[in-house]
Amino acid sequence: MALLEEAGEFHHIFLTHFHWDHIQGFPFFAPLYNPNIDLKIVGPKQNNIDVRSLFAGQMGPIYFPVPFGVVAATMSFDHLNEGTLEVGAATLRTMRVKHPSYVIGYRIEVGGKVICFIPDDEIEGDMYEMDDGWYQRLVDFVCGADLLIHDSMYTDEEYPARVGWGHSTFTQSLRLAEEGEVKKLLFFHHDPTRSDDELEEIVNRVRDNALSRGCAVEMEAAAEGIDIKLER
């Protein structure tokens, strides 16, 4: 609704990849059908398939009754695999992470603060071909971030049965945050079968264990509607 109230302004939408759980809401995104809205969609190419085709494909007749041609907003598309992009006062850097298809994480630097957003990433496991120095590059990518939002879908006990599924554990994410000297970590991409109470219990257990060994990283579970205030 906020975008609809800002008709005439230009907005960017950045995608990490094109799996259904990340894009299936777009056909129901009201600003798409408003001729007074300007949108630019940015995301990683998949092999030789461009971002516009990837975006429009989900509105094909097999998947959705309304064709892409009825979109009324002024739309443009660009691809960003690994690289850097300036958007207003913000600098965005991207890096490929470990997940099926070509998936990127974002490092956003703005106002003297750094936020890293990596929603789908299997830190461990060897199911995906990455360069030998990939993990150290990942540590460098998140280094010094004020906030890291990272895939934390499984517990250590659950992970052995899910190796290769493209997701990390709470403790793997915390290790990355510690090695990257991140200030605050938000555990993200929760297992949809987990209740809020179960999630809270897991986070408390991970936090208590971290505090017992002197870990300085703040941590909590990402939740819809929460406000994160970064210290100046």
| Residue 5 predicted with pLDDT over 70 | no
For the chain, give every domain's residue range: 1-80, 82-225
8 A C-beta contact, residue 107 and residue 145: yes
Residue 144: CB partners within 8 Å, gap ≥ 6? Answer: 114, 180, 181, 182
Triad 39, 41, 45: Cα angle to 5°: 165
Q: How far apart, in whole angstroms, are the C-alpha atoms of residue 226 and residue 118?
A: 18
pLDDT of residue 161: 94
**Predicted confidence (pLDDT) per residue in 146-193, tens digit:** 999 999 999 999 999 999 999 999 999 999 999 999 999 999 999 999
R_g (Cα) of the chain, nearest Å: 19
Q: How far apart, in whole angstroms, are the C-alpha atoms of residue 191 and residue 155?
A: 10
The pLDDT-based confidence of 42 (bands split at 50, 70, 90) is very high
**Predicted confidence (pLDDT) per residue in 83-141, tens digit:** 999 998 999 999 999 998 899 999 999 999 999 999 999 999 777 778 889 999 999 99
Supply φ then ψ for residue 57, to 5 degrees.
-60, -35
Of 3-7, 143-147, 212-216, least confident by mean pLDDT is 3-7
The pLDDT-based confidence of 20 (bands split at 50, 70, 90) is confident
Average pLDDT over residues 45-57: 87
Average pLDDT over residues 28-54: 90
Tell me which H or E stretch contains 134.
helix 134-142
Distances in whole angstroms, Cα of residue 22 to Cα of each of 15, 134, 137 = 8, 24, 25
| Residue 22 predicted with pLDDT over 60 | yes
Pick the more confident residue, 97 or 54.
Answer: 97
Distances in whole angstroms, Cα of residue 104 to Cα of each of 55, 96, 215 = 16, 4, 28
What rounded mean pLDDT belongs to the chain? 91
Q: How far apart, in whole angstroms, are the C-alpha atoms of residue 25 and residue 119?
A: 17
pLDDT of residue 8: 56
Q: How far apart, in whole angstroms, are the C-alpha atoms of residue 144 and residue 230?
A: 13
The pLDDT-based confidence of 7 (bands split at 50, 70, 90) is low
Q: Map residue 76 onto helix, strand or coil.
A: strand
Report the helix count and the strand count for the chain, using DSSP H and E.
5, 10
The pLDDT-based confidence of 2 (bands split at 50, 70, 90) is low
Average pLDDT over residues 50-69: 88
pLDDT of residue 3: 54
Q: Map residue 211 onto helix, strand or coil.
A: helix
Residue 135: CB partners within 8 Å, gap ≥ 6? Answer: 123
Query: 82-225: what fold?
Result: Metallo-beta-lactamase; Chain A (3.60.15)
